[in-house]
Structure 1
């Protein structure tokens, strides 16, 4: 059996004998799940892309160190996790604070829905689970220090044994278990108390109707109609712009101050990101003769009302696969 064939087995060995095309083909099978893993660690779609490329480069350069004691997939996860920790040490030595994550970026469902390389029963299906990809989870994770963050994701999301996480991080099993307890406590403090009752990720009729009403009221700049859809404790943020508005009154006041009630010429396209309903808004631009990207509103729905709105800027449209413009008749 040749080296390339052996690499396709669970206990594959002999990476040092493999050519670059074959190695790249094997690594590419895991690109999406590694990208999602790095995205959880970093909160940024673009940083995750850069880190996956760095992971593949490091893996190729270190291919002779692979001894077959773990799967190729687990080996790549080790390299990716360390690449994330290295980037965090350079770019963000301190975790997020105050409930804000300025670097937060959305993740399109169309990419999360890509079939796993090895089929539906493969471990990577856990990597795109709804409850650990929603924005509220991402925000809570970003408030953890990098190493406890890595422990939480590896243990609770990917299901790694404590001894494997300890080996990756160069810590003891006791240290890993202690870090996991602290991380879980931090997540409980940050995650909404009613998280078990979320419906924002479900494509049920009630949520679809609520999103339709939100869309219609937004296009009509109907502030009263929008206010009626919000929970009393609704949260609204617009990363990377600083500030989180909390409470219906604060959110509505902010919309009024920004002149939203006087806005005309909006069109909307429904979409989904991070397993949540979202609406992409376009604004009529006379000079372009078309509706051009404005914002993307990502909604979290709880108990039949909107509990959170995270608004992203127009520069996210291309990454989400949204049209660059809508023609005058409003068709795509």
Structure 2
């Protein structure tokens, strides 16, 4: 029997199930081992992204995870699934990176290292639990930018506990084993993490964009697009909720309230801009717009910014703007040709 057969996963549930036979893993050559690991790349990348908030840091951490797994392949004993074993390694790699690169959790309601995650890559995730409404809701809500910002306000270990318990559904005893803690310590950390999340998440669960993918939201995004291209600040202001939030990571600064956001737009010279074009897209399961600015010297529209919207009750409740360097990662065009009206 081949190593691939011995390590075949029975499903996408948590790590509490009995694992596959470990025989043959230590003898697997690098290409076979890589094939076994690669089937989990996307979900591990999303897991690391939730932990780190950075698309690129998550990529580096998944690579580190596979390297560590290959070097330690003899230690896989089959007490859990191969998938769960990889998740353990990935979580520890994230904790190591957070300890080394992050001076501490985010503060003040913003996370400067936050990066967007394209929906086209989220669509590559395994379909486990896709028919369960609650699982679908958890997957969507825990990848949205508001959730990720809230997570970044937690210290690394409570953050890991929260994601492993509430997102992945791991039993407390398995999380305790991974972190080298007691079950009581894990349960206590989970309570603190949930309390911390409540401080930074929208007040109501229904405030999430999930469930508002209807004609009303599409019409709102369409009006936002037209007003943005026309640099019509008054029209934009009419779509914003009173407590709207606006940020531009990694640029420091969080603007809260319609008046504060409008003042920023006016002071930044947005009203005087000309030559904008917009391309609709979606990231983090939220509507987004990629804006391009006409450059006469190039004879084309070049990347400018990406606005990611959170919509609640027919109004825009949050705008997160990312810089042009995110365009390649999101699979957006490098330029748009002119149409002769410039």
Q: Considering the TM-score relative to the shorter chain, is it more than 0.5?
A: yes
The one of 259, 262, 282 aligned to 1:252:
262
Cross-structure match for 1:11: 20
Identify the residue that residue 160 of structure 1 maps to in structure 2: 170
2: CA distance between counterparts of 1:128 and 1:21?
Answer: 34
Moved more, 188-197 or 209-218: 188-197
Q: RMSD over aligned Cα, in angstroms?
A: 1.8
Question: In the aligned structure 1, how far is the partner of 2:275 from the partner of 2:70?
Answer: 51
* Preserved contact between residue 163 and residue 173 of structure 1 (Cα < 8 Å): yes
Q: Is the 8 A contact 1:33 1:128 kept in 2?
A: no
Q: Which residue of 1 aligns with 2:308?
A: 298
- The alignment status of 1:316 with 2:326, answered yes or no, reads yes
Aligned position for 1:42:
52
- 1:88 aligned to which of 98, 102, 121: 98
Contact 2:140 2:210 (C-alpha < 8 Å) held by counterparts: no
* Residue matched to 2:12: none
SS in 2 for 1:270: strand
Partner of 1:31: 41
Structure 1 unaligned residues grouped into runs of 5+: none
Contact persistence 1:200–1:277 (CA under 8 A): no
Partner of residue 211, structure 1? 221
Task: Judge conservation of contact 1:223–1:261 (CA < 8 Å) in 2.
Answer: yes
Which ranges in structure 2 are unaligned for 5 or more consecutive residues? 10-18
Alpha-carbon distance between aligned partners in 1 of 2:212 and 2:273, rounded to the nearest angstrom: 31
TM-superposition CA deviations, 1:261-290 (whole Å, max 9, x none)? 000000000000000000000000011100
Distance 1:299 1:57 in 2: 37
> Is it true that 1:238 corresponds to 2:243 in the alignment?
no
**Residue 128 and residue 268 in structure 1: after superposition, are their counterparts in 2 closer, same or farther (change >3 A)?**
farther
8 Å CA contact 2:118–2:283 kept in 1: the answer is yes
Runs of 4+ with deviation above 6 angstroms: 125-128
Report how far residue 244 of structure 1 moved.
Answer: 0.3
Question: For residues 69 and 111 of structure 2, what CA distance do their matches in structure 1 show?
Answer: 30
Change (3 A) 1:145 1:201: farther
Query: How far 1:116 sits from its partner (Å)?
Result: 1.7
CA distance in 2, matches of 1:180, 1:35: 23
CA distance in 2, matches of 1:270, 1:285: 20
Cα distance in 2 for partners of 1:53, 1:176 equals 27
CA–CA distance in structure 1, aligned partners of residues 80 and 57 of structure 2: 27
Preserved CA contact (<8 Å) 2:40 2:83? yes
Please give the TM-score of this superposition, normalised by the length of structure 2: 0.92
Aligned to 2:15: none
TM-score, reference length from structure 1: 0.95
User: Structure 1 residues 61 and 121 mapped into 2: Cα distance closer, same or farther (>3 Å)?
Assistant: farther
CA–CA distance in structure 2, aligned partners of residues 119 and 24 of structure 1: 26
